[in-house]
Amino acid sequence: MSDRSDVLEANASFYRAFQTKSLEAMDHIWAEEEVSCVHPGWPALESRASILDSYKMISSHAEQEPVLCLNPRLVLRGDHALVLCEEQVGVSLLVASNLFLRAPKGWRLLHHQASPLMQARPNVEAGRLN
């Protein structure tokens, strides 16, 4: 497979791990390096242990709606790759950035940030950040 398809497959694996609530798969997809994760509204998690704990906690909630990855776009640059996508969680839309590193055994997730997308784009209209 090409690097591009490998990264997109790694990105898809991340969302599959979430959907299937597989902590083993989630553990596999995150890099061994210094990793970080920003769930919507949460402070940044900056250790592997805290990130895996967060997915364990989130997955334990039966009412957690599936997180679907829409329209992934990829920028590949050497051993780093950034995937931008939208996430659909129930009726909510989020914007996500997923940064991957080429590790010895394949592409692994270094950093994830997801944040709510205002569908009425109020900040765009107002032209202000807050």
Q: C-beta of 6: minimal distance to a copy of itself in Å?
A: 18
Site string for a copy of itself, 53-82 (x = CB under 8 A): ----xx-xx-xxx-x-----x-x-xxxx-x
Residue 22 is a binding residue for a copy of itself (CB under 8 A): no
The single residue among 101, 107, 108, 109 that binds a copy of itself, judged by CB under 8 A, is 101
Query: 130 and 124 in contact (C-beta within 8 Å)?
Result: no
Query: 80 and 74 in contact (C-beta within 8 Å)?
Result: no
The single residue among 23, 52, 99, 103 that binds a copy of itself, judged by CB under 8 A, is 99
Counting residues that bind a copy of itself (by CB under 8 A) gives: 51
Residues 52, 27: Cα–Cα separation, whole Å: 7
Q: Give 26 or 101: the residue with its C-beta nearer to a copy of itself.
A: 101
Phi/psi at 73 (nearest 5 deg)? -120, 140
Q: Which long-range CB contacts under 8 A does 34-37 form with residues at least 24 apart?
A: 34/110, 35/109, 35/110, 35/111, 36/110, 36/111, 36/112, 37/111, 37/112, 37/113
Select the span of 9-17, 22-30, 41-49 touching a copy of itself (CB under 8 A).
41-49
Query: 1 and 77 in contact (C-beta within 8 Å)?
Result: no
Residue 21 is a binding residue for a copy of itself (CB under 8 A): no
Extract the tokens encoding 50: 């805290």
Residues that bind a copy of itself (CB under 8 A): 33-34, 36, 38-44, 46, 57-58, 60-61, 63-65, 67, 73, 75, 77-80, 82, 84, 89-90, 92, 95, 97, 99, 101, 110-111, 113-118, 121-124, 126-130
